[in-house]
A and B are shown apart, each in its own frame.
Chain A
Amino acid sequence: MSGAPRLRMRGVSKAFGGVQALRGVGLEAAAGEVHALVGENGAGKSTLMKMLSGALRPDEGEMQLDGAAYAPSGPAEARARGVAMIYQELTLAPHLTVAENVYLGREPRRGLLLDRAAMREGVRRAMELLARVDVRPDARVADLGPGQRQLVEVARALAGRAQLLVMDEPTSSLARDDVGRLFAAVRRLKAEGVTVVYISHFLEEVREIADRYTVLRDGETVARGEVSACSDADLIRAMVGRELEEAYPRVPHRAGDPILELQELAGRGGLRGDLPRSVSLSLRRGEIFGIAGLVGAGRTELLRAVRGLDPIRSGSVRLCCVPPPLLGLLSEDRKQEGLALSLSVADNITLSRLGPLTRWGWLDRRAQTAATVQRAQELGIKITSAQQTTGALSGGNQQKVALARLLHEEAEVLLLDEPTRGVDVGSKAEIYRLIGTLAAAGKAVLMVSSYLPELLGVCDRIAVMHRGVLGAARNASEWSEESLLKAATRGEAA
């Protein structure tokens, strides 16, 4: 490789108040390289990213782009220097068209007016490069699916002639086939000589797309090298700082009597109001039942219909026993729907069932705190006090708070939608263990996940959802990632 690398960061440090977020971090990436940046939540990845985007300035250290000093004052300068960002949360304005979103902030003009023809043409060219001519420049972003939206973000980077593209967990809201398309786009960018800094939790993605890696832990660079020259175990050890004895800890549990029966269930969820189409299954106490499938196949809609949040079109949901067991839903969208992040941990856990904690209609704060502390101990939630603000917790702990709420509700059937989304590797194992413990205690678990290894590692039985129809359930041992994927993309496997 000749000359200076595309990006060089050396000895970069940053402190917030007394907390040292980054300590002498170094990172180097060449032109045409896909560089993976991995690390647990809180390792300092987002701080690093904010420096590249110009939102933060380092206290110490230097950054260089193609050998020239780089100290952007804000997003506008970063973009002018050819640095583009794709964030974990999609950053599109839903009311604007694709073209308007792509050129927002640097609109081509003809005199005082927008040059809409040039905007359309630029988007068309970018989409051709991504082999996605089906995304029309004049479509409103609100009308696009999540995969198409992610591509609009990539198109935005392309149209800006980015030389350095930073992608933060770009696949977290994508289904498997959209992930494939995104990777194809990344490879094309790479062929054009664009440098990509790829931030991800998913090691198999790193392995698939990245050339080199840097591992951050507690604000320090702890490992770097060629992806092909290291094992997953090496990476996990570097990230977690200890040997992870088992990625999928198993807690022994036994399936008991059926508790929930679905017969030909059809609902009114989804964009067209026809999901799910037909679902039959039988869930037993002490069982973990997994549902695989693509995003948009109707998995979330199924859980919502079972929980009674969306109306049912036809078919039946039958529960055993009198009185019927309670159903608890863990939403996939923790920030918007699952938790009230500005409320305290105690409020979040007890919100769903305040009755036993009141006296004469007044909330008994002491009882509420006691209940919270008990749940926190049961689930291993790390909190400083029951009154701590939920938003201040890490993703893993937030997810445990959401689970604790289901337990406080005394739900017997747990409907878990993407229970480990946005949770780092170390906390994932704890949540898996927790799910196992709950099953051992006789709870029935219906779990939706897009992360196939997790389904295979945690569930007893798995069924695949394809276009609103749930296929036959089989023991987890009878499935492989390949067979699950095939069933998810093509319907019932042979």
Chain B
Amino acid sequence: MNRLRALLAPFLGLLFVVLLFSVLAPESFPTLYNFRTVSTQTVVVGLGAIGMSFVIMSGGIDLSVGSVIALSSVAAAAALNAGWSAAAAILAAILTGAICGLVNGLLIARLRIMPFIATLGMMGIARGTAKRITGGQKIDAPASWLPDLVSKSSADAWLGLPPGLWILLALAALMAGVLRRTPFGLHVVAIGSNEATARLCGVNVPGTLTRVYALNGAFAGLAGAMLFGRLSVGEPTAAVGLELDIIAACVIGGASLSGGEGGMLGAMIGAFLMAFLANGMNLAQVENYWQEILIGAIIVAAVALDRWRHRRG
């Protein structure tokens, strides 16, 4: 009940944005084509937010996801160039991300480096590696069915919606279950809520944290594969600063950076809220700077509202 109440404000925000732009741009905004457009625009951030939710729930942060997404997109392109199938390329991207995440997790859980610092390091390492692999250039890759996953055209749609959206929603539902219904999920929340307690209760804190960051890396990897699908090139300089959009999606959805609070549904609402806002403002011809100002204001408002709600009890 409590959890649902926390989602009320972001959900109303999302509803408000959708209604507002439906009025401001009635001919272009509330159309199926535009909804398909927005949902493919959300896939990359949304996938990142699934993994990031676990990290934030555990009381950590991962600043490297933007770079890891770029590295994974390069890995997918390289795999396709090497003649691998599209499915193998997606796996290569996920694996690349998971390895980066695993390294983050080991640094944080075993060497006890603060998540902020460890992932700040990985941010540079992953970005540099991506540039090193590609020689600083974007790399072209042969066509495959991978871009169709994030295509907006109705020809590629499953049940009228882009495949990428279905993948995003299915994974979000699955991971919401993992978070709420498995011992692993409970341990993640417990560590975020009170790490000392989790330790005393015999929870394998280092092991759990390592898995959390590896999982986040894997989702960043999948997001990288999707980004490759969107760009159709492996792009070492893509997704700069994307980690902040992903963190913002989680925070707008009610996650607390001090850990223990948040959820998958909230993160998805946050991701869609930001995407609808950006899309709607483009359609209504609002200048870009308003977009940035508004998103910033929404993040602050979301957290302030959450604080206020907490004080009221």
A/B contact in complex, CB under 8 angstroms: yes
B183 contacts A75, C-beta separation under 8 Å: no
Chain B residues closer than 8 Å to A91, beta-carbon distance: 194, 196-197, 200-201
Partner of A74, one of B190, B202, B260: B202
A104 contacts B190, C-beta separation under 8 Å: yes
CB closest chain-B residue, reference A140: B2
B313 contacts A271, C-beta separation under 8 Å: yes
Chain B residues closer than 8 Å to A85, beta-carbon distance: 200
B198 part of interface (Cβ distance < 8 Å): yes
- What are some 27 contacts across the A-B interface (CB < 8 A)? A53-B200, A74-B202, A75-B202, A79-B202, A93-B197, A93-B198, A95-B192, A95-B193, A95-B260, A96-B186, A96-B189, A96-B190, A100-B186, A100-B190, A101-B197, A104-B186, A104-B198, A105-B198, A105-B203, A107-B183, A107-B186, A113-B182, A114-B182, A114-B183, A140-B2, A156-B201, A271-B313
How many Å lie between the Cα of A261 and that of B161 in the bound state? 71
B181 part of interface (Cβ distance < 8 Å): yes
A112 part of interface (Cβ distance < 8 Å): yes
Q: How far is the CB of B311 from chain A (nearest CB, A)?
A: 9
B199 part of interface (Cβ distance < 8 Å): yes
Q: How far is the CB of A38 from chain B (nearest CB, A)?
A: 23
A75 contacts B194, C-beta separation under 8 Å: no
A106 contacts B202, C-beta separation under 8 Å: yes
* Residues of B that sit less than 8 Å from A by CB: 2, 181-183, 186-187, 189-190, 192-194, 196-203, 260-261, 313
Q: How far is the CB of B253 from chain A (nearest CB, A)?
A: 16
The 6 closest A-B pairs by CB, nearest first: A105-B201, A76-B202, A95-B260, A93-B193, A105-B202, A95-B193
Partner of B201, one of A95, A104, A109, A114: A104
In the complex, chain A residues 84-118 whose Cβ is within 8 Å of any chain B Cβ: 85, 87, 91-96, 100-101, 104-107, 109, 112-114
Q: How far is the CB of B209 from chain A (nearest CB, A)?
A: 15
Using known A-B contacts A109-B183, A114-B182, A271-B313, determine if residue A94 contacts B202 with beta carbons closer than 8 Å. Answer: no
How many Å lie between the Cα of A112 and that of B183 in the bound state? 8
How many Å lie between the Cα of A209 and that of B194 in the bound state? 31
How many Å lie between the Cα of A271 and that of B199 in the bound state? 29
**Residues of A in contact with B, size category:** 20 to 34
Q: How far is the CB of A202 from chain B (nearest CB, A)?
A: 24
How many Å lie between the Cα of A100 and that of B203 in the bound state? 12
How many Å lie between the Cα of A104 and that of B2 in the bound state? 21
CB closest chain-A residue, reference B177: A113
Q: How far is the CB of A115 from chain B (nearest CB, A)?
A: 10
Chain B residues closer than 8 Å to A79, beta-carbon distance: 202
A96 contacts B193, C-beta separation under 8 Å: yes
Using known A-B contacts A113-B181, A114-B182, A140-B2, determine if residue A95 contacts B261 with beta carbons closer than 8 Å. Answer: yes
How many Å lie between the Cα of A400 and that of B196 in the bound state? 28
B194 contacts A93, C-beta separation under 8 Å: yes
Chain A residues closer than 8 Å to B201, beta-carbon distance: 75, 91, 104-106, 156
Partner of B260, one of A94, A105, A156: A94
Chain B residues closer than 8 Å to A112, beta-carbon distance: 182
A93 contacts B260, C-beta separation under 8 Å: yes
CB closest chain-B residue, reference A111: B182
Contact with B along A271-288 (1 / 0, CB 8 A): 100000000000000000
How many Å lie between the Cα of A53 and that of B200 in the bound state? 9
How many Å lie between the Cα of A74 and that of B189 in the bound state? 21
A114 contacts B181, C-beta separation under 8 Å: yes
Q: How far is the CB of B169 from chain A (nearest CB, A)?
A: 21
Chain A residues closer than 8 Å to B190, beta-carbon distance: 93, 96, 100, 104
How many Å lie between the Cα of A105 and that of B203 in the bound state? 5
Chain A residues closer than 8 Å to B198, beta-carbon distance: 93, 104-105
Contact with B along A16-44 (1 / 0, CB 8 A): 00000000000000000000000000000
Q: How far is the CB of A118 from chain B (nearest CB, A)?
A: 13
Q: How far is the CB of A251 from chain B (nearest CB, A)?
A: 41
How many Å lie between the Cα of A76 and that of B313 in the bound state? 35
In the complex, chain A residues 30-80 whose Cβ is within 8 Å of any chain B Cβ: 53, 74-76, 79
Q: How far is the CB of B190 from chain A (nearest CB, A)?
A: 5
Q: How far is the CB of B127 from chain A (nearest CB, A)?
A: 34
Chain A residues closer than 8 Å to B193, beta-carbon distance: 93-96
Chain A residues closer than 8 Å to B192, beta-carbon distance: 95
Q: How far is the CB of A301 from chain B (nearest CB, A)?
A: 15
Q: How far is the CB of B116 from chain A (nearest CB, A)?
A: 19
How many Å lie between the Cα of A92 and that of B193 in the bound state? 9
B194 contacts A87, C-beta separation under 8 Å: no
